[in-house]
């Protein structure tokens, strides 16, 4: 419980320190990678593969063991003159031995290489998970930026509607506006306030999503640094094929499957080693002590010295027939290699589809953003004209509200397509260099 409390306190302290000035996207990504449970689990898996590599390398070393035994027997037993007598005997023995595989058909070296590849693949898997976290955090970060901008638009709408309620109320007091017009504008103001509430809720939920990705205990007090997005350079980098060619060289999802394909090839070699003989060297030494109640025995130290004897031996094992196990192991390894090749091809195809999707999403959002800029500019000009006419008494409140709603809709569309374009172009750059920049 104390450890949990300390961990929570540390997380809260880190969140408070960052919240004082707000979190940048880089800070969010870095913090998420350091604290995300999936990342930490993958790191433990890589460490476990390092242990397995050490095990494989250690199979080159000799195995050494020692033993000692002590025994007693009681009762009738045959004597040296072929008679029986009650005799108590005791025996003590010591031995030490070592064995070492000299040749195993390349199995040991093959297993070491496979363990090395497993470690490399585990490290690539760790980087793949980090990449996934980067994308999720960037998407959640941009969603907060977008929702905050929408909230600003909604609040501005409330300000405009509040001013019109005050204006109509004043006009109604002098008989120049009807109570129906005032009531209608109050309803419009209430709807605008509802839009603010909805926008605030959306912002709160997007903040919660990001803080959960960061593994923060609470979203309270969390804030981000608003990136500068007003002056976007509307350009699409390269082509899907060019980005894909770059991504193949750096993406850990591809790298890990390539490593596993190489590992599958080594597995075939290891399986084929079962057809080859193995040679083992063994050596050791032992001694013993024996005493009997009916016989005079030499002293313990004398017997231990006199009975000492070393030994050495070679053991050659030649496989002749293994019930087709070696043959089936090779066949299974080859099938595994074929399956891994298809897995690699599938990962590459998936990566290409993702890049294609991001590329054409970027192209579409660029086009929509450019169009929405024109629509927003026109809507602003129209609203300014209608507002001037309304304030001059030449336009109704209905015309004013319709013009204002068109402007609000255009502003919302402009923000939506701006952040869609921003995320999709950042995603394309991420495929090229594995880093997010806004």
> Measured in Å, how far apart are the chain's first and last C-alpha atoms?
41
Angle between helices 2-19 and 25-35 (to 10 degrees): 170
pLDDT band, very low/low/confident/very high, at 8 (cuts 50, 70, 90): very low
Alpha-helix residue ranges (DSSP H) falling in 307-324: none
pLDDT band, very low/low/confident/very high, at 417 (cuts 50, 70, 90): very high
Residue 104, beta-bridge partner list: none
Alpha-helix residue ranges (DSSP H) falling in 288-396: 300-306, 325-391
Asked if residue 1 has pLDDT above 50, the reply is no
> Nearest-5° angle of CA 52, CA 53, CA 54?
90
Q: What average pLDDT does this structure show over 284-305? A: 88
Asked if residue 202 has pLDDT above 50, the reply is yes
* Tens digit of each residue's pLDDT (9 = 90 or more) over 102-124: 999 899 999 999 999 999 999 99
**Cα–Cα distance, 80 to 33 (Å, whole number):** 80
pLDDT band, very low/low/confident/very high, at 246 (cuts 50, 70, 90): very high
Contacts of 9 (CB under 8 A, 6+ apart): none
Give the pLDDT of residue 73: 84
Alpha-helix residue ranges (DSSP H) falling in 296-324: 300-306
**Cα–Cα distance, 422 to 374 (Å, whole number):** 18
pLDDT band, very low/low/confident/very high, at 17 (cuts 50, 70, 90): very low
Contacts of 196 (CB under 8 A, 6+ apart): 151, 154, 155, 157, 158
Pick the range with the lowest mean pLDDT from 99-113, 235-249, 348-362: 235-249
**Cα–Cα distance, 338 to 334 (Å, whole number):** 6
Asked if residue 293 has pLDDT above 80, the reply is no
Domains and CATH numbers, the chain: 2-35+104-276+324-433 (1.20.1600.10)
Of 165, 145, 112, nearest to 420 (Cα)?
145
Question: Higher model confidence: residue 74 or residue 345?
Answer: 345
Task: Write the burial class of residue 19 (CB in 10 Å: 0-12 exposed, 13-18 middle, 19+ buried).
Answer: middle
**Cα–Cα distance, 274 to 272 (Å, whole number):** 5
| 136 φ/ψ angles, rounded to the nearest 5 degrees | -65, -40
Q: What average pLDDT does this structure show over 177-196? A: 91
* Tens digit of each residue's pLDDT (9 = 90 or more) over 394-414: 888 889 899 999 999 999 999
pLDDT band, very low/low/confident/very high, at 69 (cuts 50, 70, 90): very high
**Cα–Cα distance, 370 to 234 (Å, whole number):** 9
The percentage of the chain sitting over the pLDDT mark of 90, rounded to a whole number, equals 73
Give the pLDDT of residue 14: 42
* Tens digit of each residue's pLDDT (9 = 90 or more) over 354-380: 999 999 999 999 999 999 999 999 999
Contacts of 186 (CB under 8 A, 6+ apart): 165
């Amino acid at each position: 419980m104390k450890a949990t409390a300390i961990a929570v306190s540390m997380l809260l302290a880190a969140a408070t320190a960052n919240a004082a000035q707000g979190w940048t996207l880089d800070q969010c990504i870095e913090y998420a990678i350091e604290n995300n449970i999936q990342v930490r689990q993958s790191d433990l898996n890589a460490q476990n593969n390092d242990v397995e590599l050490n095990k494989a390398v250690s199979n080159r070393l000799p195995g050494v063991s020692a033993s000692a035994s002590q025994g007693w027997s009681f009762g009738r037993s045959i004597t040296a003159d072929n008679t029986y007598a009650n005799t108590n005997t005791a025996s003590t023995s010591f031995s030490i031995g070592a064995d070492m595989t000299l040749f195993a058909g390349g199995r040991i070296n093959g297993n070491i290489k496979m363990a090395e590849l497993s470690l490399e693949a585990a490290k690539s898997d760790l980087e793949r998970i980090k990449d996934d976290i980067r994308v999720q955090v960037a998407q959640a970060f941009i969603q907060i930026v977008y929702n905050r901008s929408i909230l600003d638009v909604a609040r501005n709408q409330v300000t405009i509607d509040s001013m019109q309620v005050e204006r109509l109320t004043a006009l109604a007091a002098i008989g120049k506006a009807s109570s129906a017009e005032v009531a209608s504008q109050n309803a419009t103001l209430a709807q605008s306030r509802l839009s603010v509430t909805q926008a605030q809720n959306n912002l709160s939920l997007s903040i919660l999503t990001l803080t959960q990705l960061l593994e923060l205990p609470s979203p309270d007090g969390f804030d981000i640094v608003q990136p500068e997005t007003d002056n976007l350079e509307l350009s699409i980098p390269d082509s899907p094929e060019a980005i894909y060619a770059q991504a193949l060289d750096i993406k850990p999802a591809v790298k890990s499957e390539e490593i596993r394909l190489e590992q599958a090839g080594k597995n075939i070699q290891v399986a084929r080693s079962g057809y080859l003989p193995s040679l083992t060297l063994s050596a050791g030494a032992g001694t013993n002590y024996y005493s009997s109640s009916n016989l005079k025995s030499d002293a313990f130290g004398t017997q231990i010295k006199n009975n000492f004897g070393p030994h050495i031996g070679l053991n050659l094992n030649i496989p002749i027939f293994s019930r087709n196990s070696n043959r089936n192991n090779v066949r299974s390894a080859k099938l595994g290699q074929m399956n891994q090749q298809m897995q690699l091809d599938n990962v590459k195809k998936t990566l290409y589809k993702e890049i294609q999707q991001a590329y054409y999403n970027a192209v579409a959002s660029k086009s929509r953003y450019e169009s929405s800029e024109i629509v927003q500019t026109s809507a602003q000009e129209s609203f300014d004209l209608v507002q001037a006419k309304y304030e001059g008494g030449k336009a109704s409140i209905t015309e004013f509200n319709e013009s204002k709603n068109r402007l609000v809709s255009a502003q919302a569309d402009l923000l939506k397509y701006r952040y869609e374009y921003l995320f999709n172009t950042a995603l394309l750059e991420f495929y090229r260099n594995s880093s997010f920049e806004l």
